[in-house]
Structure formats: structure tokens, C-alpha cells
Chains A and B, each alone.
Chain A
């Protein structure tokens, strides 16, 4: 495999990792606030906090990792995306900053303030929407280059049905992923009430998720026909995704093996995400940047890959320890 292919694969895996852990986190924030205003907060908050408290910091790192790696492997993306995304990128940053810090203020502060809870919950929905927009932009048609200048066509982005369908998909899948994970976690905690509530939420959000997926598929056809056709070439991955989805919903519906159901949800998103990514190649930004045009120097590419392997040797055992202590430790999960 060439360096650029290794690079983008590694980065895509990390983005997928972010998609899962951040979805759980963002959705949990929203559910937690929703629970507070509907008076069901007491039921689910204990479960949510017990999971989130030790891991919230780790979530952010996945995203930073992806961005730093992207600039390292493909310096051209820094130029194009960097110039074009000044405004939307800054807004996403501000949302992330508000969310991260207000989570800590809320969690560790003495007073459980309504405002900080609201900010933490609301940004949980706004951030996925704003980050999903960047994926939309990579499809091309929203960034133009005139001489030295790179412009983002905001009005076109706002008018695009494709862009809105991606935002819609991001929102509902965050809630679906999060609810299906928390159902499993509540089940392990033997918290029947929370489990039942979250189970209903998972089922509720499953319909819009699959509907939005089809919507994205269809609207991509109008927006970028080449990519749409490339996706058809990998249609087996999307079929697999649908199968995993149906199995997962089936299990949740019949109150069986929530753990397996969540693994299936992860597989559902993995196959769709990698199918989407693979068919997007070789473009990183259609049609300006491909993985070949802006690739880094081969020496640096190799150094990055080696440091990546070294880093993983350190990370995987530590992450395993984290999961062992907080996710798979029966006593901790049950709050003892």
C-alpha cells in the first residue's frame, strides 16, 4: 500500500472512532438536558454521568488527532480547507469550546446550573451539524479557487438539499448511536427504568436515521454524480450496513443482547462510513485535492507512520485499561 493510502486509511479509522465516541457523548448531553426539562433527568443522569465522567477528555483527542494527521499527511488540505473554512471552522471551534468547558463546569462545579446544562445539551446537537457540513464541502461545488484566493460559497451551501440531508443524518444518527449505547450501559448497570426509557429512544431515533441515510444517498446523485456512481460500485457495503441496522433494531425491539445490538450499530455505521470514504477517493476535496496531489514528503510520511505505530502500542493498552476499569467493571457500572 502506498503511503498516502495508509495515511488516509489511518485517518479515516480515527474519524470513525470520533464518530462513535463523540456521538455517544453528544447524544448523552442532549438526553441529559432533555431529561432535566421533562423531569426524567433523575432516571438517566446517574447512568450517563457514570459513563461520561472518566472518558469525556478522550473524545476530543480523536478529533485533534484526525486534524493534525490530515495536515501532516496532506499539507495541501491545510491550505484549501484552512482558507475556506475560517468562519464555519471558527464557529465549530467555539461550540466545541463551550461544550467541553461547560461540561466540566457543570460536572465539577458545586452548583448544577441550568444554563450550563442547557449549553452542554444544545451544543451536543449543533456540533455534529457543523462538523457534518465539512464532509459536505469535501464533495466539491462549495469551494472555488480564483487565482490565489479560495472561497467558500456559503449561500450555495445553505441552499443545497444535499447539505441539509447530511446535517439531518448527522443529528439523528448521533441520537440513535447514543441511545443504543446507553441502553446497553443501563442494562449492565441493572437500572431497569433507565434501560426502558433509553430503549424507547433508541427505537424512536432508528427510523429517521435510516430515512436520512436514503435521503443522503438520493441527494448525492444530484450533487455529485461521479461519487454516486462510485458508491454504487461498493453497494455491498451499504447493503451490509442496512442488514446490520435491521438486526440491531430487531434485537433492541425484542429486548435481547443489547451489547451485540450496539456492536451491530457500530458495524452499520462502519460499513456505510468506509463505503462512503472509499468511493470518495482519490479526492480529499473534489476536484482540487486528491490524496496524490498534496501528499507529504515520503520521509515524513514514513516517520508519521512509525510514530503512529509507536503511539498505538502505548494507546491500545491504556484504552483497554480505561475500558476495563469503567466500562467492563461490573461494580463501577452499577455505581458501587
Chain B
């Protein structure tokens, strides 16, 4: 039987894990809509405008689920972790508050955007409405990520006997983890959304859809996927360096690095012996961990043995770290491959195997988001506020969390199924060809 503590962790993880799917889409897709509608305006090409229009329509449905699951996690923070919120709430309330403002701003302009497609003589005005939507969605990701960053590297307050004093709100918000975390969250959300849209297009082409509309859609989404993939990789590298400096135990757990040493090896994959801490199998790259952590093959990297064992994160975070990085590499290679083929072997642009790789990439990109969050969240256990409060001390004393866990699991299951059903039906019943015909847009 699981105790309240584990149940609360599971419920929080479940809600966040479900919310993050829609939150990622919510941050990234508006950027892609912005780009597509802009292309439509600049080139006076109705295909791009239609693309923006169709994406926006599907986006609305995902936003609804994002909003309601976001409300869930917002309240669950207080319902499941009341002692934590009583203490930390005082320091993180500013970014939480600002996040709701950003969200408010986004909600207002999204509502306006969706219902003013044919209302302005000058179509530029309609496009301009998207800018506050993009600012709002990215700003809310920014603010909420500073809260998570704060939990990883808390600062800007003093804690004496459980009482928080000398709060400096801005210092708490702009803590050491903020820059890399925010940048990584934003770039990976853009990447994932672009790749999912590319995957949907590739899927349509695989199912026999042809024409300029699909060609433009695929080229646009894959090109931007590549841009975001490179940005994500660069920022991911900076995040590794951040970990080495501020959360060495998380990096050491991710890399199964026990003994502090120079010229530390990077281990990819492998299986860990839980007693002897020996790694079997796996690809060992000599000195690469030192390079990853400090850009120097001979730099010293702190090992887990430097920390008391009860402060170690669970060692299975290694797999999540590897999966996340592995998928990142895959996405970069596949998008680059498409661009190369398009440039030098244009007749193979729609090679079925290439399209299949892209379809798979859309799925993997979302998985990488999940794996990355599991890595970062489990990787800071046993702390809820690193160095200040253990997760076990923040949990609710109320019973019945098990029943709530069951109820919310059911809710997310239903929402997930119905949402997918509605989205698929929405696009299948109203294919682009039909819409182009209705709007008098030339096809092919």
C-alpha cells in the first residue's frame, strides 16, 4: 500500500505529465501560426494563410485542455503540498501572479484572433493580434519556469526555524537556474510543436495527399524544426554546465559518476549494478563528461560519493537523461537530412522512409519533453526546495489522496481520448482540399 506521500507525488506527476503535453503545444504552436500567417502575408500566398487558419482551429481545442489541466495543477499545489506552499508561497507568489497576468493577456487576444479572421480590411491587423498571444504564452512559460528554477536553486530569502524572512522577490525569480531552464523550456517547446506539425503533414503525404499545400507545409515546419533543434542543443549544453556548477549531484546521478575525478567519462546507456555501482554495457566516451561539464577534457567533475547517500537522487534518472538527449540528436539529424535531400536530391524529398522518420520524430519529440521533465524533477529528489525542504515535509496531512488519484487518472484518460477523437474528426471531416475549394484557392 502506498502512503499519502507517494500518492501525492504520483498525482502531481500525473497532472504535470498530462498538462505538459498541452502546455508545450500551447507555447510552441502560436509561434508556428505566427510564422505561417506572416509567410501568407508576405508572399501573398493563400496556402500559408490556410495553414495558419487550420492550425489555429486545432490549437483552440488543445488550449482548452491546457487551461483546465493548468487550473488543476495550480490548485493541486495548495491541495497536495500545503506546508510547502505556506513556506515557499511567500517567495514564489510574484512569478505565479505574473504568470496569471500573462495567461490573461494571451486568453484575451487568442479569443479576439480566432473570431476576427475576415474582419479587417488590412490583414496585417489580424496578424498583429497574434503577437500578444505569442508574448503571453511564452511569458507564462517564462514565469512558471522561474518558479521551478527557484525550487532547484532557491535564493532571495532567509529561512530561520521554518520562518521565511528577508525576501527579495526579483532575486528569487532570477536565480542561477532561471536562464538555462527558461531558454531550454522555450526552445524545446518550439521544437516539439514544429516537429509535431511536420509529422502531421508527413503523415498526410504518406497517406497519399499531394500538392503544393503539403509541400509548403512540410518545408516550413521541418526547416523551423531544424532551427529550433540546433538552438535546443546549444542551450542543452549550457544546462549541463549549469548542473555541474550548481546541482552537481543531479549531473552525477544522471551520468552514474560516483568518484570525483579529472578527465571523467561520459556513459551512454548501460545497466547499473545497484550494490557495487559498476556499469555494465553502455558506450563510454573518455573525458566527454568533463568536456560537457566544463568545456575542458581534463576538468574535475564532482562524483556522487561526495554527497551523503540519503541526498542522492534516484539513479534511474540516467535513462531519462539519455533518452532525452538521444531524441534531441535524432530530431536534429532527421530535420537536417530532410533539408540536405531537399537541396541536393529534390526528387527524394517525399521519400516514404524519410517521411516515416519525420512522423516518428513528432511522437519522439513529445516523449523527450516528458523524459526531460522526469529527469529534472526526479533528479532533484529528495528535495522539494533544494537545500531547504525535503519533499516529504511539504506533503498534505489529509487522507483520501488515493481516491483523488483515481478520479484524476480517469479524468485525464477521458480528456485525452475525447480530445484526440475531436481533433482527428475535425481535420478528417474538413480536409484542406475541401477548404481550398470552398475558399477558391488553387490547388496543386
Residues of A near any B CB (own CB < 8 A): 53-58, 60-61, 63-65, 67-69, 71-73, 75-76, 78-87, 89-91, 93-94, 96-98, 100-105, 108-111, 116, 148-150, 296-297, 299-300, 303-304, 307-308, 310-311, 314-315, 318-319, 321-322, 325-326
**Chain A residues whose CB sits within 8 angstroms of the CB of B96 once the complex forms:** 68, 71-72
Which of the listed residues B63, B79, B132, B169 has the most CB atoms from chain A within 10 Å of its own CB? B79
By beta carbon, the residue of chain A nearest B72 is A93
CB within 8 A of A104: which of B64, B90, B107, B408? B64
Given A58-B111, A68-B97, A83-B396: A314 and B105 interface contact (C-beta under 8 Å): yes
Given A82-B396, A108-B426, A318-B108: A300 and B68 interface contact (C-beta under 8 Å): no
Q: 1/0 per position for B66-95, CB-CB distance to A under 8 A?
A: 011111101110111111011101110110
- Does chain A have a CB within 8 A of B168? yes
- Does chain A have a CB within 8 A of B109? yes
- Does chain A have a CB within 8 A of B434? no
Given A57-B67, A58-B108, A78-B85: A105 and B90 interface contact (C-beta under 8 Å): no
Q: How far is the CA of A14 from the CA of B265 in the complex (A)?
A: 56
Q: How far is the CA of A115 from the CA of B116 in the complex (A)?
A: 30
- Does chain A have a CB within 8 A of B167? yes
Q: A82 contacts B85, CB within 8 Å?
A: yes
Stretch at the interface among B281-289, B333-341, B351-359, B398-406: B398-406
**Chain B residues whose CB sits within 8 angstroms of the CB of A319 once the complex forms:** 108
Q: How far is the CA of A102 from the CA of B183 in the complex (A)?
A: 33
By beta carbon, the residue of chain B nearest A98 is B411
Mostly helix, strand, loop or mixed at chain B's interface? helix
Q: How far is the CA of A72 from the CA of B404 in the complex (A)?
A: 25
Q: How far is the CA of A96 from the CA of B71 in the complex (A)?
A: 9
CB within 8 A of A297: which of B67, B167, B396, B422? B167
Q: How far is the CA of A58 from the CA of B136 in the complex (A)?
A: 13
Q: A318 contacts B132, CB within 8 Å?
A: yes
Shortest C-beta distance, A311 to chain B (Å), equals 4
Q: 1/0 per position for B407-444, CB-CB distance to A under 8 A?
A: 11001000100110010011001100000000000000
CB within 8 A of A64: which of B74, B87, B114, B165? B74
Q: B74 contacts A68, CB within 8 Å?
A: yes
Q: A297 contacts B90, CB within 8 Å?
A: yes
**Chain A residues whose CB sits within 8 angstroms of the CB of B79 once the complex forms:** 82, 85-86, 89-90
By beta carbon, the residue of chain B nearest A310 is B101
**Chain A residues whose CB sits within 8 angstroms of the CB of B89 once the complex forms:** 71-72, 75, 78, 296
Q: A94 contacts B407, CB within 8 Å?
A: yes
- Does chain A have a CB within 8 A of B224? no
Q: B75 contacts A101, CB within 8 Å?
A: no
Which of the listed residues B72, B169, B422 has the most CB atoms from chain A within 10 Å of its own CB? B422
By beta carbon, the residue of chain A nearest B164 is A297
Q: B64 contacts A103, CB within 8 Å?
A: yes
Q: A101 contacts B415, CB within 8 Å?
A: yes
Q: A110 contacts B94, CB within 8 Å?
A: no
Given A83-B396, A104-B64, A299-B169: A97 and B71 interface contact (C-beta under 8 Å): yes
Q: How far is the CA of A61 from the CA of B136 in the complex (A)?
A: 13
- Does chain A have a CB within 8 A of B202? no
CB within 8 A of B115: which of A54, A65, A93, A300? A54
Q: How far is the CA of A145 from the CA of B60 in the complex (A)?
A: 44
- Does chain A have a CB within 8 A of B61? yes
- Does chain A have a CB within 8 A of B180? no
By beta carbon, the residue of chain A nearest B73 is A93
**Chain B residues whose CB sits within 8 angstroms of the CB of A308 once the complex forms:** 97
21 A-B residue pairings within 8 Å (CB atoms): A60-B71, A64-B70, A64-B100, A68-B93, A69-B97, A72-B97, A75-B85, A75-B93, A79-B83, A83-B82, A83-B398, A86-B79, A86-B80, A86-B400, A94-B407, A97-B411, A101-B64, A109-B425, A110-B426, A149-B397, A310-B101
Q: B111 contacts A65, CB within 8 Å?
A: no
Which of the listed residues A93, A296, A311 has the most CB atoms from chain B within 10 Å of its own CB? A93
Residues of B near any A CB (own CB < 8 A): 57, 60-61, 63-65, 67-72, 74-76, 78-83, 85-87, 89-91, 93-94, 96-101, 103-105, 107-112, 114-116, 132, 164-165, 167-170, 396-398, 400-401, 403-404, 407-408, 411, 415, 418-419, 422, 425-426, 429-430
Shortest C-beta distance, A160 to chain B (Å), equals 21
By beta carbon, the residue of chain A nearest B84 is A78
By beta carbon, the residue of chain A nearest B81 is A82
By beta carbon, the residue of chain A nearest B60 is A108
Given A83-B396, A83-B397: A101 and B65 interface contact (C-beta under 8 Å): yes
Given A72-B94, A78-B78: A61 and B112 interface contact (C-beta under 8 Å): no
By beta carbon, the residue of chain A nearest B414 is A98
Closest 8 CB pairs of A and B: A72-B93, A104-B64, A82-B82, A82-B78, A311-B101, A78-B85, A54-B111, A97-B68
Q: How far is the CA of A87 from the CA of B81 in the complex (A)?
A: 14
Q: How far is the CA of A53 from the CA of B60 in the complex (A)?
A: 11
Shortest C-beta distance, A296 to chain B (Å), equals 5
Given A61-B104, A75-B90: A86 and B114 interface contact (C-beta under 8 Å): no
By beta carbon, the residue of chain A nearest B91 is A300
Given A64-B74, A86-B400, A314-B105: A325 and B86 interface contact (C-beta under 8 Å): no
By beta carbon, the residue of chain A nearest B86 is A79
Q: A89 contacts B112, CB within 8 Å?
A: no
Q: B86 contacts A78, CB within 8 Å?
A: yes
**Chain A residues whose CB sits within 8 angstroms of the CB of B401 once the complex forms:** 86
By beta carbon, the residue of chain B nearest A298 is B167
**Chain A residues whose CB sits within 8 angstroms of the CB of B90 once the complex forms:** 72, 75, 296-297, 300
By beta carbon, the residue of chain A nearest B172 is A300
Q: B61 contacts A105, CB within 8 Å?
A: yes
Shortest C-beta distance, B145 to chain A (Å), equals 16
**Chain B residues whose CB sits within 8 angstroms of the CB of A85 once the complex forms:** 79
Q: How far is the CA of A103 from the CA of B67 in the complex (A)?
A: 12
Q: A304 contacts B104, CB within 8 Å?
A: no
Q: B112 contacts A321, CB within 8 Å?
A: yes
**Chain A residues whose CB sits within 8 angstroms of the CB of B100 once the complex forms:** 61, 64-65, 68
Q: How far is the CA of A90 from the CA of B404 in the complex (A)?
A: 7
Q: How far is the CA of A80 from the CA of B89 in the complex (A)?
A: 13
**Chain B residues whose CB sits within 8 angstroms of the CB of A104 once the complex forms:** 60-61, 63-65
Q: A81 contacts B78, CB within 8 Å?
A: yes
Q: B408 contacts A325, CB within 8 Å?
A: no
Known: A73-B93, A83-B398, A116-B418. 7 other contacts (CB 8 A): A53-B114, A61-B104, A68-B99, A79-B86, A100-B68, A100-B71, A325-B116
**Chain A residues whose CB sits within 8 angstroms of the CB of B419 once the complex forms:** 101, 105
Q: B109 contacts A318, CB within 8 Å?
A: yes
Q: How far is the CA of A58 from the CA of B107 in the complex (A)?
A: 6
**Chain B residues whose CB sits within 8 angstroms of the CB of A81 once the complex forms:** 78
**Chain A residues whose CB sits within 8 angstroms of the CB of B76 once the complex forms:** 90, 93
Given A100-B68, A300-B167: A93 and B75 interface contact (C-beta under 8 Å): yes
CB within 8 A of A90: which of B81, B407, B429? B407
Q: B103 contacts A64, CB within 8 Å?
A: yes
